[in-house]
Amino acid sequence: MAKRVIIIGVGGATCSGKTTLAKHLRNVLPNSFILHQDDYAPPQELVPLHPTLKIQDWDDPRGAIQWDRLRASLAHIRASGGELPPEHRSHDHLNKQVPVPVDEGKLGAWGEEVRGALKEREKEGERETVFVLLDGFLCYWDEGVIAQLDIPLFLRTPTAVLKARREARAGYVTQEGGLWVDPPGYWEDIVYPAYLLAHCDVFQNGDVDAGAPTGKVPGLEVLDCGALGMDGMVRRAVERVVEKKEKEKEKEKEKEKEKEKENPAQPHSSPSRLPAPPKPNHPPPQQKPLASLASLAHAALMYFRWRPGLASDVFTPADRLLFRPRHRGFCGVRAVAGVGGADIL
């Protein structure tokens, strides 16, 4: 049986702390790996030029990512139960990062919390889970990519902080192994305008600094980097994973209740305690009384006792001997030859 895949989007502007958060979550979540969106940038010779500045634009969402390739990889990962496409290659390890440590004790405790929630669900029959962390500055641009995300997170960092971090970077390693260094004014002319374009319909009024989500990305949660810090963001991401498991459990219970309403279960009894079959409601058949010769003779006697004139019309002389009136009480009746029976006196 294929493993169950949960894809977590870790999005935000360049230099917002996405990759750092994704790496901490990889250490907390069991069976997890990172899928870097930068690995889906086109080869350097295919990166489009800015229409007015005539320099390569690595940030415009319309050309910075090969979207068909990224969508295909996400679909493959989900269908295969968490397996990367065989042709996938990553170069993220070649880029230098400033470490932002998180307390190891906290990471361990959060990891135990997630594993406990997963074990409980697996006992109830759920498949083993694989977590995929999609790390990218354009996670919420393409509708096909958005549709694959189970838990979308957005790291909101003040613009001034983003600018300072970007300009402090030495550059980015390309797929070919080359080094891209921002030319002067690249942040103001290309990076920041592209960031606004990519999120203009993700936040109300296109306000990336304070706007609420518009609903384009269902379930999008904004993590305030300044207020939470890296510890707080890791903790909140873990809570979202546990909450998702609880919600799924509640949904399954609701579905079971609906099924019970549609198809009520019949009560079951053990064979040794089956109730006795009900007695038939109709009365038992009446047995016909057996009429003896004596009772028939007595009935005839009582009838003709009061009407002796009829006896001469109905009976033969031999018969009349049987029913000859004697007195008002009883008449003697003798058995006729050939017919068994007792005398009635």
Question: With contact defined as beta carbons under 8 Å apart, do 235 and 110 qualify?
Answer: yes
Which residue, 141, 113, 143, is CA-closest to 246? 113
Question: With contact defined as beta carbons under 8 Å apart, do 231 and 102 qualify?
Answer: yes
Using the 8-state DSSP alphabet, how is residue 191 labeled? I
Q: Residue 14 and residue 12: Cα distance in Å, rounded?
A: 7
- The helix (run of H) or strand (run of E) holding residue 155 is strand 151-156
Q: How many C-beta neighbours within 10 Å does residue 178 have?
A: 10
Beta-carbon contacts of 33 under 8 Å, excluding residues fewer than 6 positions away, are 26, 82, 84, 131, 132, 133
Q: Which one of 38, 39, 59, 60 is the catalytic residue? A: 38
Q: Residue 85 and residue 82: Cα distance in Å, rounded?
A: 10
Q: Residue 345 and residue 333: Cα distance in Å, rounded?
A: 7
Q: Residue 111 and residue 177: Cα distance in Å, rounded?
A: 35
Q: Residue 1 and residue 23: Cα distance in Å, rounded?
A: 28
- State the Cα torsion 48-167-228-98 to the nearest 10°: 100
Question: With contact defined as beta carbons under 8 Å apart, do 148 and 75 qualify?
Answer: yes
Question: With contact defined as beta carbons under 8 Å apart, do 70 and 140 qualify?
Answer: no
The CA-based diameter of the chain, rounded to the nearest angstrom, is: 152
Q: What angle do CA 72, 77, 78 make, to 5 degrees?
A: 100
Give first-to-last CA distance, the chain, whole Å.
Answer: 98
- Does the annotation mark 39 as catalytic? no
Q: Report, as residue numbers or ranges, the catalytic residues.
A: 38
